Chain A
Amino acid sequence: MTDIAHHIPEALLASYVSGTLAQPFALVVAAHVSICEECRANLAAHEAVGGVLLDAFDPISITSDLRNRVMAGLDDDIPPEPERPRGDDTFPTPVLEALGSKAPKWRSLGPGAKQCILNAGKEGSVRLLHIAPGFAVPDHTHGGLELTLVLQGAFKDETGRFARGDLEVADDTLEHTPVAEEGMPCICLAATDAPLKFSAFVPRLLQPLFRI
């Protein structure tokens, strides 16, 4: 957990804190923070900025009615919130929640690659990718931003090695060919703000060139 080398950029953390980050990316941020102490601290620092801003707002008076309602609400018997699933060795809590605590339903993407779409909408999509050792990671870049968080195994590309917890941040100017390392299959959480399209990366999958 302490070996994570690739972290969440500041702008994404600030955007997550402010709530403007698209849902697919927010899931990746939440998943990374769940397993990265450094980014957990960084996230809290951005929340502290929010707190400073909140404190600096000119107070606008509150009706006594609202105050009374809240004070009366302290006695309400509220059922405890349901326990959140505990992250396991592969899937952090927010990913388990996105899976509905069920095992992922993998669908083939061609030789060596499977995917499980967690969420797809107008804000983009987020999916799990399962890449057999030695095979190329599907490149789902179609412009826009692409976040890939490694949850199990590792992949390598021209920019470096990415193992559990590492986050690769790419835009469409990054020409790269990530390949899963030998050993365990590589499982990634991948989010993009581009619309769902697969055809573009299928050809590459059909030729697992880099069987190391």
Chain B
Amino acid sequence: MYVECDPPLDGVRMLGMILDEHKILDGAHIAPVLRKARSARRVSCERTPVTSGMSTTFTEQTEWMLKVRDARDRAAFAKLFDHFAPRLRGMLMKNGFGAAQADDVIQDVMLSVWRKAHSFNPERANVSGWIFQIARNRQIDVIRKDRRPMPEELAMPESTDIDGEQVLGIEQEAASLHAAIARLNPEQRDLVQKAYLGELTHSEIQAETGLPLGTIKSRIRLGLERLRHELKGER
């Protein structure tokens, strides 16, 4: 049998696509993120963000990360640390890491956040996704003692100008994903967690849950296209 290559999940109706502002979501941790994204969106309706360093409407995490990237701001880094380190710890413990080993990984991951900040691009990734990816890489290094092959990195544009609308778009999509995951039934949510935290093999993931990824993919593609144009312009 030939295995279909087209994303089979995209056709699945997106639960979180149209964020119902009035529905109460389960999980207290989800609310702040959504609230932030909502207020960001509200602002974006009143005033179309222009291409500039204006970032007052972004989530705190994005703002901290940009301050770290562009101004090497230690106070902002400390805030990132205080937000992510305890969550990384939660994730690592769930993955079976002991306390000392988890601490080592957290240290490496957070220092990588500081050192690799220049490669963070909020038009293509949200902060937590970017940090998740660094953390998984580090975990794989530790567990397998073998580096995971990585795609070629895209060149970064010279300018640090930000397309605010694009960044807000990425944040909104992440919030929608958050909402969609919150609405999964417990078994599905468990499956998603297992799939992304490394407890399932690729063939076990086949029977996936129908996470709505279509719109976030399109949004990230917009960011990639913008980058490609920018890089062309620089040459």
Residues of chain A having any CB pair with chain B under 8 Å: 6-12, 14-15, 17-21, 23, 25-27, 29-31, 33-34, 37-38, 40-63, 66-67, 69-71, 73-74, 76, 78, 84, 86-87, 92-94, 97-98, 145, 159, 167, 169-171, 173-174
Query: Which residue of the partner chain B has the closest CB to A95?
Result: B149
Interchain CB contact under 8 A, A14 and B205 = yes
Inter-chain CA distance A14–B192, complex, in Å, is 10
B123 shortest CB reach to chain A, Å:
11
Inter-chain CA distance A78–B116, complex, in Å, is 12
Interchain CB contact under 8 A, B196 and A17 = yes
Inter-chain CA distance A54–B86, complex, in Å, is 10
* Residues in chain B near residue A23, CB distance under 8 A: 144, 146, 148-149
Residue in B2, B82, B85, B91 with the greatest tally of chain A CB atoms within 10 Å: B2
* Residues in chain A near residue B1, CB distance under 8 A: 171, 173-174
- Interface-forming stretch among B39-47, B48-56, B174-182? B174-182
Interface string of B78-104 (1 = CB under 8 A from A): 100110111111110110000000010
B96 shortest CB reach to chain A, Å:
13
Interchain CB contact under 8 A, A50 and B129 = yes
Inter-chain CA distance A20–B225, complex, in Å, is 30
Contact of B132 among A9, A50, A92, A93 (CB under 8 A): A50
Interchain CB contact under 8 A, A84 and B195 = no
B147 shortest CB reach to chain A, Å:
9
Interchain CB contact under 8 A, A53 and B89 = no
Interchain CB contact under 8 A, B202 and A25 = yes
Contacts beyond the supplied A11-B206, A23-B149: 13 A-B pairs with Cβ under 8 Å: A9-B5, A23-B146, A26-B149, A33-B151, A42-B217, A48-B216, A51-B128, A51-B131, A60-B89, A70-B111, A87-B152, A92-B151, A145-B203
Interchain CB contact under 8 A, A94 and B202 = no
* Residues in chain B near residue A27, CB distance under 8 A: 149
| Residue B230 at the chain A interface, CB threshold 8 Å | no
Query: Which residue of the partner chain B has the closest CB to A118?
Result: B149
Interchain CB contact under 8 A, A74 and B193 = no
A-B contact pairs, 24 of them (CB 8 A): A11-B206, A15-B201, A19-B137, A19-B140, A20-B201, A42-B217, A46-B213, A48-B216, A48-B220, A50-B129, A50-B136, A51-B126, A53-B91, A54-B87, A55-B178, A62-B89, A67-B82, A71-B78, A74-B111, A76-B111, A93-B152, A145-B203, A159-B2, A169-B5
SS of A interface (majority): helix
Interchain CB contact under 8 A, B196 and A18 = yes
Interchain CB contact under 8 A, B125 and A60 = no
Interchain CB contact under 8 A, B152 and A94 = yes
* Residues in chain A near residue B144, CB distance under 8 A: 19, 23
* Residues in chain B near residue A42, CB distance under 8 A: 7, 213, 217
Inter-chain CA distance A97–B225, complex, in Å, is 27
Contact of B200 among A15, A67, A98 (CB under 8 A): A15
| Residue B3 at the chain A interface, CB threshold 8 Å | yes
Count, A-B residue pairs, CB within 8 A: 246
| Residue B124 at the chain A interface, CB threshold 8 Å | yes
Query: Which residue of the partner chain A has the closest CB to B194?
Result: A18
Contact of B91 among A20, A45, A54, A66 (CB under 8 A): A54
* Residues in chain B near residue A87, CB distance under 8 A: 152
* Residues in chain A near residue B153, CB distance under 8 A: 84
Interchain CB contact under 8 A, A74 and B85 = no
Query: Which residue of the partner chain A has the closest CB to B103?
Result: A66
Query: Which residue of the partner chain B has the closest CB to A54?
Result: B132
| Residue B167 at the chain A interface, CB threshold 8 Å | no
* Residues in chain A near residue B206, CB distance under 8 A: 11
* Residues in chain B near residue A78, CB distance under 8 A: 115
Contact of A58 among B29, B33, B81 (CB under 8 A): B29
Interchain CB contact under 8 A, A53 and B33 = no
Interchain CB contact under 8 A, B192 and A53 = yes
| Residue B114 at the chain A interface, CB threshold 8 Å | yes
Inter-chain CA distance A141–B108, complex, in Å, is 40
Interchain CB contact under 8 A, B220 and A57 = no
Within B1-55, the residues touching A (CB, 8 Å) are: 1-9, 27, 29-30, 33
Closest 8 CB pairs of A and B: A51-B129, A59-B86, A51-B128, A57-B90, A93-B152, A15-B202, A50-B132, A48-B129
